[in-house]
């Protein structure tokens, strides 16, 4: 394993661009520093701006497995770190009862590696290499605060202690990407260990480029129109403003429908692809669609 997989910022950008991911300088530097310093990256931003995608692209760029932990409320150590395979353990006990020597050895064999189920965090720590895995801890704000405590040991020392066996220390510390939609503040101790980056909605130029890269064969004029409309939509205070994900979905939808030119009718008819709240769709109906298509909505 090389300690520094990215020789320069530009190298990160090139590798990501090969995978159709447009990384601006800030993001590229974050990735490079995270690799150099062996620190996790904490990405915050609205839903659909490409936070999760970064981890996937990073794994592909480094040609290494992506281990994903999707967080949810109530996530605990047994689903995130490790769990014992109780069924097998009890089976083992029953079998050992037939045999006196096995019975004597039971204490030492019952908590053997064979009965250990590796959950995502332990799997990432125990990843045998040759290159470190990419560990994606997605939507960490959904997990409750107790869970962040588990993360601290993992993320600062890249080790996990299983009381019955001992401590597993990573031979190839994983690249860690944490994402948060910011539905709550994370613990300071956790934040301190990470490189923090707020991922904003892309600039029009970047968004146009992303659409062209990700939706092959899209008409250049349509890509421009979509970009402009997205700017217009984001200027309205909807409950959920559309992100890049919605822009891509919409572009694909328009392409699939064979639309070559955007109009107010097309926008209203396909609003469900970009706006995900009923109130927002209704709100759009009340607005001047042509102004939005021009990127400049007037607030009612």
Partner 1 sequence: MLASGEALREHTLRFCQVLREDGLPVTPARVIDALHALQHIDPTKEADFRLALRLNLASSREQEVLFEQAFERYFRQQADTRQLRSGIRGETMRGQLGHHYKSLDQQVEALPEAWGVTESGHHVDLSSRWDPDAPPLAQIIRELAKRLATRPSRRFQSGRQGERVDLRRSVRRNARHGFDLLDLSRAKRKQRRTRLVMLCDVSGSMDAFNPFLLQLMFGLQQALKSSRTLVFSTATTEITAALRRRTVNDTLREVAETVRHWSGGTDIGAAIGRLNRGVIREGAASATVAIIISDGYDNGVLERIASEMQALQRQVSKVVWINPMYGASTFKVRAAGMKAALPYVDHFLPAFDARSLRVLVRELALI
Residues that bind partner 1 (CB under 8 A): 9, 25-26, 29-30, 32-33, 36-37, 39, 42, 44, 73-74, 76, 78, 83-84, 86, 89-90, 93, 97, 103, 106-107, 110, 142, 144, 146, 182-185, 188, 191-192, 194-198, 237, 239, 279
Spatial neighbors of 100 by CB under 8 A, at least 6 apart, are none
The CA distances from residue 87 to 77, 111, 115, 117, in Å, are: 19, 13, 9, 12
CA pair distance 57, 115, nearest whole angstrom: 33
Q: Which is nearer to partner 1, 97 or 261 (CB)?
A: 97
Q: Which is nearer to partner 1, 3 or 63 (CB)?
A: 3
Strand pairing partners for 135? 67, 176
CA pair distance 140, 185, nearest whole angstrom: 10
CB of 17 to partner 1, least distance (A): 19
Count CB atoms within 10 A of the CB of residue 244. 22
Local structure of 284: helix, strand or coil:
helix
Task: Give burial (CB, 10 Å; 0-12/13-18/19+) of 17.
Answer: middle
CB of 123 to partner 1, least distance (A): 19
CB of 31 to partner 1, least distance (A): 11
CB of 210 to partner 1, least distance (A): 21
Closest CA relative to residue 128, chosen from 64, 84, 81, 177? 64
Spatial neighbors of 19 by CB under 8 A, at least 6 apart, are 57, 60, 61
CB of 65 to partner 1, least distance (A): 26
CB of 75 to partner 1, least distance (A): 9
CB of 149 to partner 1, least distance (A): 12
Q: Which is nearer to partner 1, 119 or 127 (CB)?
A: 119
Spatial neighbors of 269 by CB under 8 A, at least 6 apart, are none
Q: Which is nearer to partner 1, 92 or 212 (CB)?
A: 92
Q: Which is nearer to partner 1, 104 or 264 (CB)?
A: 104
- Both tokens of 263, joined, read 């109009």
CB of 28 to partner 1, least distance (A): 10
Interstrand relation of 134-138 and 175-180 (parallel, antiparallel or unpaired)? parallel
Q: Which is nearer to partner 1, 191 or 252 (CB)?
A: 191
CA pair distance 250, 143, nearest whole angstrom: 31
Q: Which is nearer to partner 1, 110 or 253 (CB)?
A: 110
Q: Which is nearer to partner 1, 237 or 265 (CB)?
A: 237
């Amino acid at each position: 394993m090389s300690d520094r997989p990215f020789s320069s910022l530009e190298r990160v950008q090139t590798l990501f661009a090969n995978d159709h991911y447009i990384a601006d300088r800030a993001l590229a530097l974050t990735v490079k520093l995270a690799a150099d310093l062996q620190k996790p990256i904490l990405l915050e931003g609205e839903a659909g701006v490409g936070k999760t995608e970064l981890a996937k692209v990073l794994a592909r760029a480094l040609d290494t497995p992506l281990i994903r932990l999707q967080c949810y409320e109530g996530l605990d150590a047994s689903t995130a770190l490790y769990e014992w395979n109780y069924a097998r353990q009890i089976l083992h006990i029953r079998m050992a009862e037939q045999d006196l020597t096995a019975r004597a050895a039971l204490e030492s064999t019952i908590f053997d590696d064979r009965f250990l189920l590796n959950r995502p965090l332990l799997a990432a720590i125990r990843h045998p290499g040759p290159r470190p895995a990419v560990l994606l801890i997605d939507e960490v704000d959904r997990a409750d605060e107790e869970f962040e405590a588990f993360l601290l040991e993992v993320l600062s020392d890249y080790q996990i202690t299983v009381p019955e066996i001992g401590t597993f220390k990573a031979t190839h510390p994983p690249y860690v990407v944490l994402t948060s939609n910011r539905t709550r503040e994370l613990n300071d101790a956790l934040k301190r260990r990470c490189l923090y980056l707020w991922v904003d909605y892309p600039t029009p130029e970047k968004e146009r480029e992303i659409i062209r890269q990700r939706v092959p064969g899209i008409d250049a004029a349509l890509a421009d129109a979509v970009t402009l409309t997205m700017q217009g939509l984001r200027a309205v205070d909807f409950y959920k403003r559309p992100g890049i994900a919605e822009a891509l979905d919409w572009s694909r939808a328009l392409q699939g429908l064979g639309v070559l030119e955007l109009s107010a009718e097309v926008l209203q008819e396909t609003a469900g692809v970009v706006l995900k709240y009923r109130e927002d769709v209704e709100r759009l109906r009340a607005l001047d669609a042509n102004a939005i298509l021009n990127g400049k909505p007037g607030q009612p």
